[in-house]
Structure 1
Amino acid sequence: MRAYADNDYPADHKPDWKIISGLWPYLAEFRGRVVLSLALLVLAKLATVATPIALKYIVDYLDQSRGADMLLWIPVVLVVAYGSLRFGATLFNELRDAVFARVAERAMRRVSLRIFEHLHQRELAFHLDRKTGGLARDIERGTNGISFLLRFTLFNIVPTLLEILMVAGVLFVAFNVGYVVAILVAVVVYVVFSIRITEWRTKFVREANARDNQSNSRAIDSLLNYETVKYFNNERYEAQLYDVDLDDWEQARLKNRLSLAALNSGQALIIGLAMIVIMAMAVREVARGEITLGDFTMINAYLLQLFIPLNALGFVYREIRQALVNVERLFKLLGDKPAIQDAPNATELAVDKGEVQFDHIHFAYRPDRLILQDVNFSIPAGHTLAVVGASGAGKSTLARLLFRFYEVDQGAIRIDGQDIRTVTQDSLRSAIGVVPQDTVLFNDTLYRNLAYGRPEATEEEVYRAAHLEDFIRSLPDGYETKVGERGLKLSGGEKQRVAIARVILKNPPLLILDEATSSLDSLSEQAILGALNEVSRQRTTLVIAHRLSTIRDANTILVMDGGRIVESGSHSELLELGGHYAHLWEQQHRSGEQ
């Protein structure tokens, strides 16, 4: 499976510039700050454009006063004005950034929260297909891209264009149209060159990002499976695979850097030629006496002042181009609607008795592989129904459909007569407790993992639900013990106890036990079974079982084979029948004796 970012766009995909208009909602929250920031921007540019004019008068006064009596206060005033304008330009820019900071940071917060909520709303199939490392990189780059676009579109592109127009206006009024034409030609050539080369090299930037996602996904996947790597002594093999990805990333980065060098060199050549032409024009006019030395100084100052931000404009355009790609990928992720959604008129699930009915269910994960075929059964309120069968028979699929991780293709699942597709997912899942086969804990304290079943519960309620006093006392830090990533510091039985405690704390009317003891040894299984029997008492319970010894006391046992129910009855009835169940029982009993 390829990383999420690898298959979104081809390498030559061009981003949609309309994305910038999609950033307006993040600006609209602080309209006053945006307006004030723009006003400060204009003041900063006015001070910047006025600075060379003050410099011109200083030079002209000093030049014209050589050999004559000089009034010292005049150049002092002019120097103070010059320094004040430079300080004012910097001050207004800093104030602008300070005022706008809240807008940009709030935008990153809003989009980060939105993507976090969206990912939790996505269907199970999406999370089974995606790679965490690549997706995390896309989210990080996308949120940073939004902040970049908000800042640099407003505070680099707009002010640079504004400064070009102001400088052109000053040169047109103070000198002649030749300077304006020369500057505009240089700007147009520079911009066209920058855009063309940037468009050409964007594929290298995107390829580098894709290879970065790929190598990052490989690293995270390998580290998450640290124990498996050690079991098979495959550290060198993993390093080789990782190095292959890093080699691809290195080559992509090399192309990116070489193309960047070509772009920077071309931009520097255009600026250098423009400086030569315009300064040659000014030198000729000074020599002819058409302009003063102060005018020459002012022109030189304007060129330096103009081409420095213009040079930055090339960098900013490149970064905006890449930010658009990153934001487009993020918006595409946000635009993909979850496959499982509440109906427009969905109501809250009302659990009265807790009767569950699977009404002629057909389901397939893929069109070419049917999983469930005409599955029809009911679980009376307060009863325990167990489902057994060979691997791939469709047992766990029943639990996933009841929890609405997937939608049925045909038929309906009802709880107290209510089709679960007509109720909200939140109310449905609030009514169901699940003890999974593989309990994954958060890398946090034991207490926080226990309280996760109902985060608003009091400490007393958590302790009462835990039933882990002996186990807790054996830990050096008690409830504050860190369980490690995915709970790896706890044994399988200890993790299952935590899972059961969380369900007890949640206190749901319906319960799903999905092979909750299949990975435990016999002694741990007996201890867990006692807790499971306690938690399932007076609850409607669906048990997905591998070990038949754990479900002998179930009210009803269903035997599945090839996606169909082939037998149904109690433990003793199915043994007397001498069919599939009896064969499975005999097989497991014989294996146990051996």
Structure 2
Amino acid sequence: MASSMLALFVLRVLSPALVCFCTLSIIPSAPARSAPPAHSAITRVVVPTVIPRRALILCLLSLSALTFLLDGLIFVVYAVIDKTWPQGTGVEYNAVLGLVAFAGLAALGAWKDIRGVDVWNMRRIKLAVATSSCIDLALVVLVAKSIRSNGGSRFPITHTSIGIVFPAFRVLAGSILVAALSSPRIVYKAVAQDGNEESAASDTSSLLPPPSTGLSPLSALPSDSTKYGTFRTPRSGLAQSNPATRVPSPLRSEDAKSSKKPEISLDPSWSEIWNRISRLAPYLWPSKSRSLQLLVLLCVILILIGRAVNASMPFALGELVRIFEGESDRSIWPVLFLYVALRFLQGSGGLAALRDCLWTPVMQYSDREMSQLAFDHLLQLSFSFHTHRKTGEILRVLDRGAAINHTFEHILFTIAPTFIDIAIALVVFCIKFEWTLALVVFIVMFAYVAASIIITRWRTKIRRQMNERDIVTRGIHADCLLNYETVKYFGGEEHEGERYRQAVSQYQELEYKVIFSLNFLNLVQNFIISFGLLAGSMIVALRVTKGQSAPSDFVIFITYLAQLYGPLNQLGYMYRTINQSLVDTEKLLKLLNEPTEVNDRDNATTLMVDDGEIEFENVSFSYDKRTTALNGVSFKVPKGSSVALVGESGAGKSTILRLLYRFYDLPEGGGRISIDGQDIRDVTQKSLRAAIGVVPQDSVLFNSSIGYNIGYGKFGASPEEIEEAAKSAQMHERIITFPDGKLTHWTHVCLFQRSLFQGYETKVGQVPIISIVVDHCTI
């Protein structure tokens, strides 16, 4: 009998120990260097590629680790019920070692596989798993013999009987695992002309993204020879006939140089993260409203009350268990009502509901301030920025950047309370139980947080690349919608469809890697939590069997730990969410850091127009300081005269208009532009542009009412003034023929454009100029 128990003990320890040693042996493994291809007269068309059965391998390892966890928990439950700790069985060592060995092999193997190590083809892993399965088979035989010799037991299904089920399952899982490790899939891939394998999307592609040196531009800007209204263009080929206000102008040379290096670090340090948050803090914190700050204070008080509720809940349940067991003479009803009240306050309809109601105005403040900040900054940016931006990409950046609005909420309501709960729990475990339990819980919490941070920082790189491809896909959407007519003219439906298909395919390649990395993170987190649950349960169960703690204390520990693990799981999710928000905010910060090149001087005055005489004096200008757009241009437009600028495309006509509007400022020594003798650089931009009316080459109308578009020349114009301007442009009679024509202010542009010729649309673009004339003279 003693020899049989000793054999069981040795087998239970030896089986997981072999896998544990194997797991530790692969820690120093590094990717093998690829040998240079051998020269051969035979040109290969396809090459075989070995693909491990990753999903099946990780699934079997996880299931095996789960059996060890369940075996250990059942052992603990029986020990608490019997109040006896079985000696010499080795079940506790088997459970702990097995969980560490198989969970560690799954996590570490997946990590090494991601890093490029051919871990699943290592012979030592196959040998360790096969040997462990054989030992488990011998363990099943010995346990079966001991059950027949010992006879019945107190419980219908004893722990010894259950001890057969899990090793038997591991024998089956180990056999399948060895077969999966020994028979990887073979896939034949095409070889490109340069002799390298095509980088197609497949399971063989590395899950680790290539190193990135910066925010690479998503698409190159058009070459200088295609810029409209700036450079002379060759007459050969198809001319591009885009509107002058929407075709990019060249970037300045210093902008081109600065675009090669990222303005924001792709792997931010803690100080950089703090700098980003502090930059946006005035818009996240309601610094301008005392009432909102009071609401934040009330939310903080509710958070502290919630911590007290969480700390009291397990003790209320433990007291109920003591009453049920007859260890306490207290009445059950006050304790039961207290427990129900605590559960109500802890639930989503208690303190959390009240806190959310109080926090809603603060959240709306953050959303409002952030969106207004980005919108106002976009309108203040110089013309040079808007001529080379992509509308779809900018909209996507604004959408993703809005995620930072809820960062303060996550920190206040999830991260801070979680750490407070952990601190309280450590104190409770140290006082109520012993310091070793508090130490185990602390190590588990620390390992969980550290693993979450390390793996999430690695996932951030892949997530950033996926966001880049998502922005490209959104940009193709916007380009095709904005240039729908051009696509139809040239029959580009198939071309654009293929371009979109390729963009989606590249996005989904990175999306797969992001999903895989997320599952890997969840796997590691669950293994750490399971180890903490098993180790802590064994410590408390041992105290119960020794009489140092009551069975109700075991209930308190399990309830407290489960209550603690909930926020801890939420902490991992919140860290990922905040980290993702910071990634998504990178481009928003880059957008907010975009300088406004044309600014009013501190002593700028309002433009005073008397005669409206315009004069260009020896004006020279270059967009990029390399190629000259205007060279020594001088002319004068007297009062009441009409002047036409005639020239081929690229002669500088649009450049003259942009300079007159101060879309660009002349450099020092670049001449002077004046109106009635006033240098336009010395007056405010608002007064300058209010005195000038322009009818663009292609009238672009707002997707709003016709009244809104007509009144855009004079903000706050009355309906009578808008109607008078429409009559002056000879458009009023046509507008009133619409069903809502009597309410000119509400006739929609879309209905108008479907019903009129293109020339009438241009007339609507002219009406705002007339609305300015109604108010004052116009240049």
What band does the TM-score fall into relative to the shorter chain? 0.7 to 0.9
Per the alignment, residue 767 of structure 2 pairs with 501
- Is this contact kept in 2: 1:63–1:293, CA < 8 A? no
**Aligned mates of 1:205, 1:461 — CA distance in 2:** 53
Q: How does 1:362-381 map to 2 (within 5 A)?
A: 362-381=620-639
Per the alignment, residue 78 of structure 1 pairs with 335
- Is this contact kept in 2: 1:3–1:135, CA < 8 A? no
**Aligned mates of 1:485, 1:361 — CA distance in 2:** 45
The reply to whether residue 60 of structure 1 matches residue 322 of structure 2 is: yes
Q: 1:21, CA displacement in angstroms?
A: 3.0
- Is this contact kept in 1: 2:309–2:342, CA < 8 A? yes
Q: 1:380, CA displacement in angstroms?
A: 1.6
C-alpha distance 109-76 of structure 1, shift in aligned 2 (>3 A): same
Corresponding letter in the other structure for 2:310:
T
Per the alignment, residue 103 of structure 1 pairs with 362
Per the alignment, residue 461 of structure 1 pairs with 721
Per the alignment, residue 412 of structure 2 pairs with 154
The reply to whether residue 17 of structure 1 matches residue 273 of structure 2 is: yes
TM-score if structure 1 supplies the norm length?
Answer: 0.81
Matched residues, number: 507
- Is this contact kept in 2: 1:346–1:422, CA < 8 A? yes
Corresponding letter in the other structure for 1:191:
V
**Aligned mates of 1:488, 1:231 — CA distance in 2:** 19
Residue of 299, 303, 313 corresponding to 1:37: 299
Give 3-state SS (helix, strand or coil) of 2:267's partner: coil
Q: How does 1:311-330 map to 2 (within 5 A)?
A: 311-330=569-588
The reply to whether residue 118 of structure 1 matches residue 380 of structure 2 is: no
- Is this contact kept in 2: 1:414–1:420, CA < 8 A? yes
- Is this contact kept in 2: 1:441–1:485, CA < 8 A? no
The reply to whether residue 392 of structure 1 matches residue 650 of structure 2 is: yes
Residue of 288, 292, 309 corresponding to 1:47: 309
Corresponding letter in the other structure for 1:461:
E
Give 3-state SS (helix, strand or coil) of 2:714's partner: coil
Q: 1:489, CA displacement in angstroms?
A: 6.1
C-alpha distance 345-429 of structure 1, shift in aligned 2 (>3 A): same
- Is this contact kept in 2: 1:145–1:323, CA < 8 A? yes
- Is this contact kept in 2: 1:202–1:322, CA < 8 A? yes
Q: How does 1:421-460 map to 2 (within 5 A)?
A: 421-460=681-720
C-alpha distance 372-172 of structure 1, shift in aligned 2 (>3 A): same
Q: 1:507, CA displacement in angstroms?
A: 2.1
Give 3-state SS (helix, strand or coil) of 1:370's partner: coil
Per the alignment, residue 142 of structure 1 pairs with 401
Corresponding letter in the other structure for 1:74:
S
Q: 1:258, CA displacement in angstroms?
A: 0.4
CA deviation string 1:190-215 (max 9, x = no partner): 11111111111111111111111100
C-alpha distance 509-100 of structure 1, shift in aligned 2 (>3 A): closer
The reply to whether residue 2 of structure 1 matches residue 218 of structure 2 is: yes
Give 3-state SS (helix, strand or coil) of 2:693's partner: strand
C-alpha distance 427-474 of structure 1, shift in aligned 2 (>3 A): same
Per the alignment, residue 242 of structure 1 pairs with 500
Q: 1:88, CA displacement in angstroms?
A: 2.1
Give 3-state SS (helix, strand or coil) of 1:387's partner: coil
CA deviation string 1:445-474 (max 9, x = no partner): 222211222231111111111121332244
Could you tell which deviates more after superposition, 467-476 or 273-282? Answer: 467-476
**Aligned mates of 2:593, 2:304 — CA distance in 1:** 36
Q: 1:3, CA displacement in angstroms?
A: 6.3
**Aligned mates of 2:422, 2:400 — CA distance in 1:** 31
Q: 1:233, CA displacement in angstroms?
A: 2.1
The reply to whether residue 414 of structure 1 matches residue 674 of structure 2 is: yes
TM-score if structure 2 supplies the norm length?
Answer: 0.62
Q: How does 1:417-566 map to 2 (within 5 A)?
A: 417-467=677-727, 468-478=731-741, 479=744, 480-484=746-750, 490-507=756-773, 540=779
CA deviation string 1:56-94 (max 9, x = no partner): 1111122135xxxx86x7111111111111222332222
Q: Looking at secondary structure, tell me which structure has more strand per residue.
A: 1
**Aligned mates of 1:364, 1:488 — CA distance in 2:** 41
**Aligned mates of 2:381, 2:556 — CA distance in 1:** 60
Residue of 515, 521, 524 corresponding to 1:257: 515
C-alpha distance 369-488 of structure 1, shift in aligned 2 (>3 A): farther
Give 3-state SS (helix, strand or coil) of 2:632's partner: strand
Give 3-state SS (helix, strand or coil) of 1:377's partner: strand
Corresponding letter in the other structure for 1:199:
R
Per the alignment, residue 340 of structure 1 pairs with 598
Q: 1:151, CA displacement in angstroms?
A: 0.9
Residue of 453, 460, 463 corresponding to 1:195: 453
Give 3-state SS (helix, strand or coil) of 2:671's partner: strand
Corresponding letter in the other structure for 1:391:
S
Corresponding letter in the other structure for 1:173:
I
Per the alignment, residue 520 of structure 1 pairs with none
- Is this contact kept in 2: 1:123–1:339, CA < 8 A? yes
Q: 1:509, CA displacement in angstroms?
A: 9.6
